[in-house]
Amino acid sequence: MTPQGDENYLTTAEVARRLQVKPETIYSYVSRGHLTSVRARGRRGSLFAADEVERLASRSVEHPGVVERIETELTLLKDDELYYRGHSVRDLVEEQSVESVANLLWNGQLEAAAFVAEPALVDLARASVAVAPATARKVDQLRIAVAVLGAADPLRFDLARESVVAATRGLLGVLIEALPGPTGEGSVGDRLWPKLSTQPVKSGLLDAALILLADHGLAVSTIAARVAASSRANLYSVVSAGLGALDGQYHGAAPTLAYEFLGRALQDPIRVLSDRLRSGEPIPGFGHRIYQQRDPRAEILFGLMADEPILEQLTTITSRIPTFPNSDLAIATMMHAHDFHPDAGEALFAIARIIGWTAHALEEYAEPGLRFRALGVYTGREGDL
């Protein structure tokens, strides 16, 4: 191939300087498909299209000490509102199903396709969950089931978009069916409800929660999922990475902490608030690092629970706290209002966020592999090096 206009092409040495790597690294980029080399008639050596080099320069982190900037088309948090691919979650909750919103995040289209559970895989997942100790939380059961289902999928390394999306639909269907307890009928949320509560289903409430929690930008679990996807880990491993990060007290445990706080506060709000304020610790379920005046997810869920008696009691608590309630408190309120299992909030969070992790994995599969590398500054003993 002979390039037209050498000013639009760079030599190997010029590319190496632009990317701050050794010339040998350029050839590895070519072998991995990140760059395309061409030959110019009458010239020695390879040439590279300048625009392709610039695209790689904005993403490449093969040289040490670079933390990658992540560009995403999925979720926007702006002016205390939340959008998925330009669609307000307020509208999505009112007008769309969980499956449709999932497809929006995965494929950019509001089209519903059911989360169908293959019976043999449901049996396998149930058998794997059954070996967990009685103390295992629901999120622990999900973690076990994901690992076993991944091991059982011989095509898990197929990273084509349509294959990953199909696998996620099946995974979500199986996980909902396999959790201990009866399975409901109807929507995704209504099917999940009996797994989390013994009370009658309030149709649509869990669907709203699943949509609202499906993604929230580059949260720590989402970054973990993207790093895994950057190594070309399969879907199940990506989800496992997300679940691992979700397990921390500052992330996935937040709904449980809010649930426990609210349970005590409903009994004696003044004393509980006084004790919490005296401790100097943040009050679970209030405030947010990104939102400034309100959490739209909490507003939507509280609006759907407007007829619940617990909201009157909640006003006594929220009126005495100088910041706004967040989605963790809204989930905790729903749990108390409908007698959810104490660990239901974490399981709900995990199942919803699998939708988002998959969407981020699909974006990451389209990027150069292994693009995340932070600079490690050695501070230990040098000794006789």
State the pLDDT at residue 63: 47
Range with lowest mean pLDDT among 166-170, 272-276, 335-339: 272-276
Which residues make beta-bridge pairs with 47? 11, 38
- Residue 205 clears pLDDT 80, i.e. is over it: yes
Q: How confident is the model at residue 22 (pLDDT cuts 50, 70, 90)?
A: confident
Is domain 6-57 in CATH 3.40.109.10, yes or no?
no
Alpha carbon separation from 132 to 127, 193, 341, 345 (Å, rounded): 10, 22, 18, 19
Round to whole Å and give the CA distance between 157 and 160.
9
Give the start-to-end residue ranges of the domains of the chain: 6-57, 77-372
Whose CA is closest to 283, among 335, 325, 238?
325
Mean model confidence pLDDT for the chain? 91
State the pLDDT at residue 384: 66
Range with lowest mean pLDDT among 94-98, 221-225, 246-250, 260-264: 246-250
Whose CA is closest to 148, among 123, 183, 115?
123
| CATH (residue range 77-372) | 1.10.580.10
DSSP state of 69: P
Alpha carbon separation from 230 to 147, 223, 239, 246 (Å, rounded): 19, 10, 13, 19
Percentage of the chain modeled with pLDDT above 70: 93
Round to whole Å and give the CA distance between 59 and 183.
45
- Residue 89 clears pLDDT 60, i.e. is over it: yes
State the pLDDT at residue 301: 98
Q: Which amino acid is at 327?
A: S
The H or E element that residue 87 is part of is strand 87-88
- The span from the first CA to the last CA of the chain, in angstroms, equals 49
- If one compares 170 and 20, the residue with the highest pLDDT of the two is 170
Contact 242, 222 (CB under 8 A): yes
Q: Which amino acid is at 317?
A: I
State the pLDDT at residue 6: 58
Q: Scanning the structure block, which residue is given the tokens 């669609």?
A: 87
Give pLDDT tens digits for 263-320. Answer: 999 999 888 888 887 887 889 999 999 999 999 999 999 999 999 999 999 998 898 8
